[in-house]
A and B are shown apart, each in its own frame.
Chain A
Amino acid sequence: MIQLSRNYSLPEREEEIIPIKVIGIGGAGSNALDRMVLDGLDKGDLIAANTDVQSLASSVAASKVQLGRGVTRGLGTGGDPQLGLDAATEAGDELRTACGEARLIFLCTGLGGGTGSGAAPVVAELARETGALVITFATMPFAFEGKRRAAQAQEALLELQKISSAVICFENDLMGDIVAPKAGIHQAFAAADVTISQSVRSIISLIQRPGLIRIGFDDLLAALRNSNSRCLFGYGESDSDNRPHDALTQALKNPLMDRGRMLSDATSVLVQVAGGPGMTLSEVEILMQELNRHISDDTQILFGTVVDGRMGNRLSVTIISSLAADGAVVSKPVFERPSAAPVPSPQAGPETKRSPAPELESQPAVEADTAPEAEPSPSPDEPGKFVPEAESAEPPPLVRPLQMIEATLNQPELADETPSEETDSIGDIAEVPEPAAMPQIVEQVREPEPQQPRVILPRKKTTPLKEPKPAENSVAKQEVLQFESVTRGRFEKSEPTIVEGQDLDVPTFLRKNVRVK
């Protein structure tokens, strides 16, 4: 059982921002950076390093380092890691300067080619020498890319694991599973980029968002400690009426989580829960109790929460952990849970225990289709178990069959405009402007019985969804898996418009660094 600390302290004074840099190495690395900018990361912190000047020119990163002015002369490496290594060595001074005073440096690269595989270990070394903590995000090539690439990638990965403080490794093959089988390779890469971006942003916010319970460098490293390890990473978010459950389900569904199965072997797990001011302690408790069933009793939990106004109605959970190398082959995801124990069902309705948020109580009772949900059962055909009703006078909970939790994958916008695009749902679309500020988390009457937690209803949408399919309504937002348009969006198929060294297909506001939200 997890012991939650009760000693919440108020958010501290605005702490000094920890200087961070993200370095994208090679073509894949640079694409990942572009994605991060789209997702709102400040591009001032981004450095693109590449042998290929054309790719550098089109990168949105604020600083760019050309590798191998003499060795490769602006061309790529043609897949030769030795060239990549020489090129990075040649640019050593520039790389050091680019790292600057950063205390935390993320490296992003696609292993298997020449630049990433050859240069990333050199860059990691340099970055370590500046005294920074170095976290490497690397993708491993698809199987179909061939044995040579796989071998080059494997070799580079071993190097990186020796040098970096932590390596988070993404299998392209697993990422590929996220997209429809007939989707093109672009989409698979785009999916990988989204996941990488998500992970980097989560870790940055873990460290930088002023949390009620802070997570520091040391906690992070503890979770990632095993050198030569495989990283488990999951992120989920939801604004549904059962958002703790839905967010966690999403996080566990991440391909890098292997459906949560591998968590049971982890020695320590870092968990961060973030939400808007409406997030309640009970929600956090529900989430942690549910997560607890996926990890062993000996596992150390490093736990942090964050209240962030920008989260609005959403609640998110980030899970980071690592496994020692022996168990390291991540199998294909199979939906199979060690425990099929019923999830405590949130009791919705006006009678919910005294809440610190009076507005919530004045909300009408939940509609039937947003009623409490049951844990999905292991078999897709069999509906989940009903949850014992505690004190509910409410309509019986609808049971949500498993398959409904499947991610609703959006086709990216790249496709030619077909009428079906009209119905594309990009998650945010149903988002509703935030109503008046909600009270901060306040101590709750604690309910010791885990089967009957007190749940404060999350704030309800002010605009009702028009008769959504029940499935849609209950599916948590799948940010990690969701395709939004990649940087080029609609222009994926066309030749990039490069004028004055800028890629004009990238939105102007992004390149000019104008915040539009």
Chain B
Amino acid sequence: MRINRIAVGENISLDQSLDMLPLEPVFKKYKNKHGSLIPLLQAAQTHFGYLPGQVFQMIADETGIPVADIYGVATFYAQFRLKPVGKNIIKVCHGTACHVQNANSITEAMRNELHLKDGETTPDGLFTLESVACLGCCSLAPVMMIGDNTYGKLNGKSAVKIVREIKMNASVGKQ
């Protein structure tokens, strides 16, 4: 999981058109506070959904922490993403409890339904598929989380049904 995330396929984007203004208040809040790097990265990711290249430069300029160290931290933690993600992140739990209750079949069903591998995003930008280690609802295993919603006692079929519903709602929303 970790390796996949670090070895990004595309070049890390340095899109100049990104609007960094919304992050100003966060920088103010953490100005001159020690230990602020992770909260800053978290705030940036909450805003953009991932960590665009520019964020690293901006944090370096503001805090004086070398860019290399910031990359070191960002790639250490599973939470941080270096490339854009889909609107809905499907986190299939592969913790112990879910593993023994056949979590693999959920991931497999998702792969077939969305034609994705772990860590990939659908071309329409609607879904990203991820594996995580325990969502803390182990007694409902196997479990997956989409956005803020957790779904338990799944099987391949019911998981696909949930994803199809989201798909349908999204296409209704567009019309």
Partners in one complex: no
